[in-house]
Amino acid sequence: VASDLPSIREVLSEKSAVFFEPGSPDQLAKSIKKLIDYKNFANSISEKAFEMVQGYTWQKRAEKILGFITNKTWLLNYTSYEV
């Protein structure tokens, strides 16, 4: 169950979460109830969510940052400014 926000949708999808309108306790309750009532659906999206989050570890993030830093092409867009 996740708030329906753009930042959350960058990571999750309809296949990996049940979304509810932020600030709506009624929708939150309905989303939780849906998962309780439909166990197969809950299992399916939890498995998909688990698969998706494997790409969001600290190790993967560090690798992406190091890759960016060591990639010299970003320097081509850098302009130094005199102070």
As a whole-number percent, the residues of the chain with pLDDT over 90 amount to 60
The model scores a pTM over 0.75: no
Query: What is the predicted pLDDT for the residue at 27?
Result: 97
pLDDT tens per residue, range 11-50: 889 999 999 999 999 999 999 999 999 999 999 999 999 9
- At 53, the pLDDT band (50, 70, 90 cuts) reads confident
DSSP-assigned letters across all residues of 11-38:
T--TTT--EE-TT-HHHHHHHHHHHHH-
For residue 65, give the H/E element and its range: helix 58-70
